[in-house]
Structure 1
Amino acid sequence: MSKSEIFTTRVWVNKTKAEVFDFFSDLNNLVLLTPPLMNMNIDESFLADKVKKDTSFQIKIGYRPLVLKWQSEITDWNPSDHFADMQTTGPYSKWIHKHSFVEDDGGTWVVDEIEYIPKLFPTLGKYFYKLLLKSMFSYRDKQVKKLLYN
């Protein structure tokens, strides 16, 4: 098996840890944080008001006939501090996404750390996947600032 890659990003928002954690624990906000071109939808049969440990959810990304299903489970849950989701079915051999929230200077840092191994072309594709993640999280960080500054 290929070696895991680590992708980390962080963005500061002028809100409390509790407010930021509450925002990120609402699955409906996941769609707002994802670039529109990805055409992401959350399978409503999995939709919970708020996530918590052991919550499973399925998202669909793409356009017919090329729709990718991705299922994840919340594996770690520490309210107002951090939570993690792990892909159980989807495009990666390994995907663990830890969301951490750190108070600083009257606001909160949102820190994302993703450990991943792509299923397709794990060695050659790692550069493509890193660029894809940078692009996705650049959009996401802008949306976080926009949605949480209001």
Structure 2
Amino acid sequence: MKAHQLQFVQKMPVSLEQAWDFFSSPLNLAKITPEEMAFKVTSNINPIDKMYAGMIITYKVSPVAGIKLNWMTEITQVEEQRYFIDEQRFGPYQFWHHQHHFKSIPGGVEMTDVLTYGMPLGFLGTIANSLFVANKLQQIFKYRKEKVDALFGSYEIL
């Protein structure tokens, strides 16, 4: 399996506490995922629940052509207001390891996503990644950046 890695950095004009409060709630992921993916958390999660190490989250998602897939991730590590990591336990990837890092910066917060993933199906998965998966992931994170800017405002150094 070939591992692929993407990194995304976004700055937000909010406090570390505000950013952590939003991103540590599993239900908020649907708010920053493209609508055409029909992303839905299927776990029985209370809106006030925050993630913790060992938390299992299940979803339904339609990444391509309206095909619905089940996806299960586990929050494997959490350090309050610094980072959390989710890993796929069942889903469309052979491997999925997603780090979410947060740090205070002048006038806000810098959030860094480091996504490492592997495709199933060997050579066919490698072709699928080259043809559309890597591009789709770039589009998802571009959409996420736009939604986060709409929710929290654009970061500008004064």
The TM-score with structure 1 as length reference comes to: 0.91
Structure 1 or 2: larger strand share? Answer: 1
Q: 1:147 corresponds to which residue?
A: 151
Provide the rounded CA distance (Å) in 1 between the counterparts of 2:109 and 2:128.
33
Please state whether the residue corresponding to 2:140 is helix, strand or coil. helix
Deviation beyond 4 Å, 4+ runs, structure 1: none
Work out the CA distance in 1 between the residues paired with 2:139 and 2:67.
21
Aligned counterparts of 1:39 and 1:123: Cα–Cα separation in 2: 25
Deviation at 1:44, TM superposition (A): 3.8
For residues 46-74 of structure 1, the C-alpha deviation after alignment (integer angstroms, 9 at most, x for no partner) is x24211111100010129x8310000000
- Which blocks of at least 5 consecutive residues in structure 2 are unaligned? none
CA distance in 2, matches of 1:17, 1:3: 35
Identity of aligned residues (%): 28
What is the letter of the counterpart of residue 103 of structure 1? S
Residue 39 (structure 1) aligns with: 38
What is the match of residue 24 of structure 1?
23
Residue 124 of structure 1 deviates from its aligned partner by 1.2
Structure 1 position 145, deviation (Å): 1.3
Unmatched 5+ stretches in structure 1:
none
Residue 11 of structure 1, CA deviation: 0.9
Question: What's the TM-score, normalizing by structure 2?
Answer: 0.87
